[in-house]
Amino acid sequence: MPIYDYRCKDCNNHFDVFHKGKEMIEDILCPKCGSKNYTKLISAPSISFSNSSSEFNDSCSCDSNDCCCGSCGMN
């Protein structure tokens, strides 16, 4: 179930909505002011790998103290 980002056009509040299967877009209200006047924002998807094996880092030629090739989870 996706999470979408919105910005209220009345109070400029940014908020997230976790959309359930049957939720109607008309039911969304700004949690700060209760307005239905909002815009859906374009967000980058979040991708994470649960496997931290070395298969992703084998082809990387980084110093082991550097944070590159995703070895520290920040890339």
pLDDT tens by residue, 40-74: 998 777 676 665 554 555 555 555 555 565 555 55
Q: Which residue, among 39, 51, 46, 45, has the nearest Cα to 15 in the 3D structure?
A: 39
SS3 21: coil
Q: Specify the residue for token string 């209200």.
A: 29
Please, are residues 7 and 17 in contact by the beta-carbon 8 Å criterion? Answer: no
CB within 8 A of 40, min separation 6: which ones? 4, 5, 6
Q: How confident is the model at residue 33 (pLDDT cuts 50, 70, 90)?
A: very high
Position 63 in a domain: no
Report the share of the chain in percent with pLDDT over 90: 33
Indicate which CATH number applies to the domain containing 26.
2.20.28.10
Return the pLDDT at 75: 47
Q: What pTM was computed for the model?
A: 0.54
Can you give the residue range of the structural domain that contains 17?
3-43
Q: Give the total number of structural domains in the chain.
A: 1
Position 21 in a domain: yes
